Amino acid sequence: MIRNLWNDLEGTFFPESALDHMPEARLREVQLQRLKAVVALTYEKVPLFRERMDAKGVKPGDVRTLADVRLLPFSTKADLRDTYPYGLFAVPMSEVVRLHASSGTTGKPIVVGYTAQDMEVWKQVIMRTLYAAGFSRSDIVQNMFGYGLFTGGLGLHGGLEGIGATVIPISGGNTERQIMVMKDFGVTAVCCTPSYFIHLIEMAQKMGIDFRKDLKVQRGVFGAEPWTDQMRQYIEGATGIKAYDIYGLSEIIGPGVGAECHCQDGLHIFEDHFLVEIVDPQTLEPLPDGQEGELVFTTLSKQAMPAIRYRTRDLTSIDTRSCACGRTVRRIRRISHRSDDMFIIRGVNVFPSQIETALLKTEATLPHYQIVLTRKSGLDRMEVRVEVSGEMLQDTVGAMDALQKRFGHSIAQITGLTAEVTLVQPGSIPRSEGKAKRLFDKRNEG
């Protein structure tokens, strides 16, 4: 059934895709047809899901409206680890043409699979992502997302080729070479994590390369980690490019779940393939549009490994306002934090993104920082280590003290907490070729 529904819509993809502008009534009709089909498929083919549905007394036929998705059980990343490697697959391995996996640094990796049709869907949603950000076949694109088991590099690659752009599959690392290629190859667009691109900005400065004068880069899509509007402002101010947020996760498909348009006012979700919900992260009850909660997805066309009510741990809200770009697919607000990134100190819930926002309000800081939590005499302490420019470090002791107080005051305004601020030399905080590590919780160490 899913294959037939996909075929019914084939041929409608083109720049500024018609699917992004589908009338709402037609979109909801497609979603419901696909939801019924994917629930039936998963119930029949995935034992874990069937057991959970039976335990709730729910059968596929009970799903008659989109609201009935609330009858279905949730799934989490732990389910993928517990059924490693193929326990959630809904097709035989003979139909799986691609496997991807997480790094598995905290245990067994999560494994995701794709059929040939899944790969076609993935390419098409990436194409829609790129069109939304103004990419075209005339672009020369440096793809610095990691290639290999990570979904980022190869995921973007397929869509880039789909729109006819020239792709440089350089992956991450070797930063001086990245800058050389960017200049010599006439790169006009980039794909990478925002934290790595900031490292590239620094390297270019050290090499005497001016983004505006010496490079042709005009736009970039950035994702794979939460980043704030302040980080975007830094990137755009330092380089003159337009920086677009993209959203995805391996458990759903990889990159290509949502994307910003030229309005840069929230991420459009490709709702013909992904049914979105916002739930209270504590009670798991659905929340009304506009209220912040945990983002939950059900895949509507995934064959190899369908996801039913998958809890992302990302915190956001649905924005139902019409977008000036004309797209009818709904938006979610930019994701700046995850529920599992939150730490509690002195009874207060804090997200690293709040610290980032506080620091980047001050022009003296560089967008590199670490949060170190320790415990002394039974009391929790928060130290924020912040890189500042070399010129600032040469200032008088009084000026440095004033800067520390400014940082501390800004952090207190946003979090309500007092932090010990330490100013450190430029380059002293380790750089990452992928996702930046900001939080170091040492409270339980000896």
Is the predicted pLDDT of residue 300 greater than 80, yes or no?
yes
Q: Residue 1: what pLDDT?
A: 46
β-pairing verdict for 219-222 and 267-269: unpaired
67 band by pLDDT with thresholds 50, 70 and 90: very high
Residue that wins the pLDDT comparison between 438 and 79: 79
Can you give the pLDDT at residue 162?
95
Identify the pLDDT of residue 356.
Answer: 85
CA dist 383 and 385 (Å) reads 6
Handedness of CA 222, 28, 46, 286 (dihedral sign): positive
Count other C-beta atoms under 10 Å from residue 101's C-beta.
19
CA 315, 268, 276: angle at the middle one, nearest 5? 55
pLDDT at 441 over 80: yes
Q: What is the mean pLDDT of residues 239-258?
A: 97
Q: Which helix (H) or strand (E) holds 118?
A: helix 116-132
Question: What are the structure tokens assigned to 221, written together?
Answer: 């899509």
CA angle 298, 301, 304 (to 5 degrees): 95
Confidence at residue 364, expressed as pLDDT on a 0 to 100 scale: 62
Confidence of residue 346 (pLDDT cuts 50, 70, 90): confident
Asked if residues 314 and 335 have their Cβ atoms less than 8 Å apart, the reply is: yes
pLDDT at 376: 80
The terminus-to-terminus CA distance of the chain in angstroms comes to 58
Structure tokens at 263: 């309005």
- The closest of 231, 229, 225, 228 to 247, measured between CA atoms, is 225
* 173 or 143, which is more confident: 143
Task: Report which listed range, 155-169, 325-339, 375-389, is most confident.
Answer: 155-169
How far apart, in Å, are the Cα atoms of 433 and each of 174, 193, 205, 436?
9, 8, 18, 8
Model pLDDT, residue 395: 67
Asked if the model's pLDDT at residue 311 lies above 60, the reply is yes
Paired residues of 98 in beta bridges? 114
Give the mean pLDDT of 322-334.
Answer: 95
Q: Quick one: average pLDDT of 133-162? A: 96
Contact 341, 410 (CB under 8 A): no
Q: How far is CA 86 from the centre of its chain?
A: 24
The predicted structure's pLDDT at residue 446? 57
Chain-centroid distance, C-alpha 219: 18
Higher pLDDT, 388 or 25: 25
Mean pLDDT for the chain? 90
Residue type, position 34, single letter: R
Query: In terms of pLDDT, which residue wins out, 194 or 360?
Result: 194
Instruction: Give the helix/strand (H/E) hosting 180.
Output: helix 175-184
Query: Which residue segments constitute the domains of the chain, with CATH numbers given?
Result: 1-340 (3.40.50.12780), 343-441 (3.30.300.30)
| Mean pLDDT for the stretch of residues 442-446 | 79
Q: What is the pLDDT of residues 176-201, one digit of tens each?
A: 999 999 999 999 999 999 989 998 99
Residue 7 or residue 41, greater confidence: 41
| Rounded Cα gap, residues 7 and 244, in angstroms | 31
Least confident range of 5-9, 64-68, 247-251, 427-431: 5-9
Contact by Cβ (8 Å): 317, 330: no
Selection from 333, 326, 332 nearest residue 23 by Cα: 326
Per-residue pLDDT tens over the stretch 389-428: 767 766 677 788 888 888 898 998 888 888 999 998 888 8
Distance CA 188, CA 140 (A): 5
Rounded CA gap, 63 and 132, in Å?
33
Of the pLDDT bands very low, low, confident and very high (cuts 50, 70, 90), residue 17 is low
**In this structure, which amino acid lies at residue 296?**
V
Give the pLDDT confidence score for residue 11 in this predicted structure. 41
- Are 223 and 159 in contact by the 8 Å Cβ rule? The answer is no
Q: What one-letter code names the amino acid at 443?
A: R
Q: Which residues contact 440 (CB under 8 A, 6 or more apart)?
A: 370, 371, 372, 373
Give yes or no for a contact between 128 and 19, defined as CB atoms under 8 angstroms apart: yes
107, 133 contact by CB (below 8 A): no
Distance of CA 429 to the CA centre of its chain: 23
Q: Which pLDDT value is given to residue 104?
A: 54
3-class DSSP state of 369? strand
